[in-house]
A = this chain, B = another copy of it.
Amino acid sequence: MASFRNTIQKDAVLKALHEENRHMTAEQVLAKVQTQNPVISRSTVFRILHQLSERGDILRIRVPDGADCFDCTNTPHYHVKCTDCGEVFDVDMPVIDNLEDKIADTHGFIFTGHNIIFSGICPSCRKSRTA
Protein backbone atom coordinates (compact mmCIF):
# COMPACT_ATOMS: atom_id res chain seq x y z
CA MET A 1 0.00 0.00 0.00
CA ALA A 2 1.09 3.55 -0.58
CA SER A 3 2.25 5.27 2.55
CA PHE A 4 3.31 8.83 3.08
CA ARG A 5 6.70 10.13 4.01
CA ASN A 6 7.58 13.16 6.02
CA THR A 7 9.69 15.67 4.18
CA ILE A 8 10.91 19.18 4.81
CA GLN A 9 8.68 20.36 1.96
CA LYS A 10 5.54 18.90 3.52
CA ASP A 11 6.33 20.44 6.87
CA ALA A 12 6.93 23.78 5.20
CA VAL A 13 3.61 23.68 3.35
CA LEU A 14 1.65 22.73 6.45
CA LYS A 15 3.44 25.36 8.48
CA ALA A 16 2.60 28.03 5.90
CA LEU A 17 -1.06 27.05 5.90
CA HIS A 18 -1.29 27.07 9.67
CA GLU A 19 0.52 30.34 10.09
CA GLU A 20 -1.82 32.12 7.71
CA ASN A 21 -4.80 30.23 9.08
CA ARG A 22 -6.96 31.16 6.12
CA HIS A 23 -7.30 29.83 2.59
CA MET A 24 -4.37 30.43 0.33
CA THR A 25 -3.80 29.70 -3.32
CA ALA A 26 -1.03 27.30 -4.23
CA GLU A 27 0.89 30.32 -5.49
CA GLN A 28 0.58 32.05 -2.11
CA VAL A 29 1.71 28.92 -0.31
CA LEU A 30 4.68 28.68 -2.64
CA ALA A 31 5.63 32.30 -2.04
CA LYS A 32 5.40 31.96 1.73
CA VAL A 33 7.30 28.71 1.77
CA GLN A 34 10.06 30.12 -0.41
CA THR A 35 10.79 32.93 2.03
CA GLN A 36 12.06 30.26 4.42
CA ASN A 37 13.25 27.61 2.05
CA PRO A 38 14.05 29.04 -1.38
CA VAL A 39 14.68 25.67 -2.96
CA ILE A 40 11.19 24.24 -3.15
CA SER A 41 9.52 23.86 -6.49
CA ARG A 42 6.09 24.86 -7.62
CA SER A 43 5.16 21.34 -8.67
CA THR A 44 6.07 19.97 -5.27
CA VAL A 45 3.77 22.47 -3.60
CA PHE A 46 0.97 21.49 -5.95
CA ARG A 47 1.64 17.81 -5.33
CA ILE A 48 1.64 18.20 -1.58
CA LEU A 49 -1.51 20.29 -1.54
CA HIS A 50 -3.17 17.69 -3.70
CA GLN A 51 -2.05 14.86 -1.46
CA LEU A 52 -3.14 16.58 1.72
CA SER A 53 -6.58 17.40 0.36
CA GLU A 54 -7.03 13.85 -0.90
CA ARG A 55 -6.24 12.62 2.57
CA GLY A 56 -8.78 15.06 4.03
CA ASP A 57 -6.19 16.90 6.07
CA ILE A 58 -6.89 20.15 4.31
CA LEU A 59 -9.77 21.55 2.29
CA ARG A 60 -9.49 22.27 -1.41
CA ILE A 61 -11.84 25.02 -2.48
CA ARG A 62 -12.57 25.03 -6.18
CA VAL A 63 -12.94 28.68 -7.05
CA PRO A 64 -14.95 29.28 -10.21
CA ASP A 65 -12.81 31.31 -12.60
CA GLY A 66 -9.78 31.54 -10.36
CA ALA A 67 -7.05 29.63 -8.67
CA ASP A 68 -8.14 27.00 -6.17
CA CYS A 69 -7.72 27.79 -2.50
CA PHE A 70 -6.52 25.54 0.29
CA ASP A 71 -7.62 25.80 3.86
CA CYS A 72 -5.90 24.13 6.78
CA THR A 73 -9.24 23.46 8.41
CA ASN A 74 -11.07 20.31 7.44
CA THR A 75 -14.58 21.34 8.47
CA PRO A 76 -16.70 22.36 5.49
CA HIS A 77 -17.99 25.88 5.23
CA TYR A 78 -19.15 28.30 2.57
CA HIS A 79 -17.26 31.04 0.80
CA VAL A 80 -17.75 34.44 -0.81
CA LYS A 81 -15.84 35.65 -3.79
CA CYS A 82 -15.45 39.39 -4.17
CA THR A 83 -16.52 40.24 -7.69
CA ASP A 84 -14.15 43.19 -7.66
CA CYS A 85 -10.80 41.86 -6.49
CA GLY A 86 -11.48 38.14 -6.79
CA GLU A 87 -10.43 37.39 -3.21
CA VAL A 88 -12.18 34.52 -1.47
CA PHE A 89 -13.37 34.77 2.14
CA ASP A 90 -15.09 32.49 4.60
CA VAL A 91 -18.77 32.99 5.26
CA ASP A 92 -20.12 32.95 8.79
CA MET A 93 -23.05 30.66 8.19
CA PRO A 94 -23.71 27.09 9.26
CA VAL A 95 -23.68 24.45 6.56
CA ILE A 96 -27.23 23.57 5.51
CA ASP A 97 -28.12 19.99 6.28
CA ASN A 98 -30.24 17.94 3.91
CA LEU A 99 -30.36 20.65 1.30
CA GLU A 100 -30.52 17.81 -1.18
CA ASP A 101 -33.97 16.88 0.12
CA LYS A 102 -35.40 20.07 -1.32
CA ILE A 103 -34.82 18.82 -4.82
CA ALA A 104 -38.16 17.96 -6.38
CA ASP A 105 -37.30 15.54 -9.13
CA THR A 106 -33.96 13.77 -8.86
CA HIS A 107 -34.22 11.83 -12.15
CA GLY A 108 -32.47 8.91 -10.48
CA PHE A 109 -29.56 11.03 -9.35
CA ILE A 110 -27.86 10.23 -6.06
CA PHE A 111 -26.88 13.46 -4.36
CA THR A 112 -23.83 13.31 -2.17
CA GLY A 113 -23.25 16.93 -1.21
CA HIS A 114 -23.32 20.54 -2.20
CA ASN A 115 -21.25 23.67 -2.24
CA ILE A 116 -22.32 27.29 -2.06
CA ILE A 117 -20.29 30.17 -3.37
CA PHE A 118 -21.62 33.61 -2.60
CA SER A 119 -20.69 36.67 -4.57
CA GLY A 120 -20.34 40.15 -3.17
CA ILE A 121 -18.15 43.16 -2.61
CA CYS A 122 -15.56 42.89 0.11
CA PRO A 123 -15.14 45.71 2.64
CA SER A 124 -11.92 47.08 1.21
CA CYS A 125 -13.21 47.12 -2.35
CA ARG A 126 -16.32 48.88 -1.14
CA LYS A 127 -14.21 51.57 0.49
CA SER A 128 -12.05 52.14 -2.57
CA ARG A 129 -15.20 52.50 -4.65
CA THR A 130 -16.77 55.28 -2.66
CA ALA A 131 -13.40 56.96 -2.25
User: Looking at the complex, which of A18-26, A39-47, A115-123 is the stretch in contact with chain B?
Assistant: A115-123
Chain A 46-65 residues near chain B, CB threshold 8 A: 62-65
Contact A114 B113, beta carbon cutoff 8 Å: no
Contact A113 B108, beta carbon cutoff 8 Å: no
Interface of A: prevailing SS: mixed
Q: Give the contact-size bracket for chain A.
A: 35 or more
A99 to chain B, nearest CB (A): 8
Mark each residue of chain A from 92 to 115: 1 if its CB lies under 8 Å from any CB of chain B, else 0.
Answer: 110000011011111111111111
How far apart sit A38 and B53, CA to CA, in the bound complex (Å)? 43
Contact B92 A105, beta carbon cutoff 8 Å: yes
Question: Which residues on the B side are within 8 Å of A62 (C-beta)?
Answer: 64-65
Contact B119 A115, beta carbon cutoff 8 Å: yes
Contact B120 A80, beta carbon cutoff 8 Å: no
**Among B91, B112, B117, B122, which residue has its beta carbon within 8 angstroms of that of A103?**
B91
Q: Mark A residues whose CB is within 8 Å of B.
A: 62-65, 80, 83, 89, 91-93, 99-100, 102-123, 126
Q: A92-B105, A92-B106, A99-B116 are in contact. List 18 more A-B contacts (CB 8 A).
A: A62-B64, A63-B64, A64-B115, A80-B109, A89-B107, A89-B109, A91-B103, A92-B103, A92-B104, A100-B118, A100-B120, A108-B126, A109-B121, A109-B123, A110-B121, A110-B126, A111-B120, A113-B118
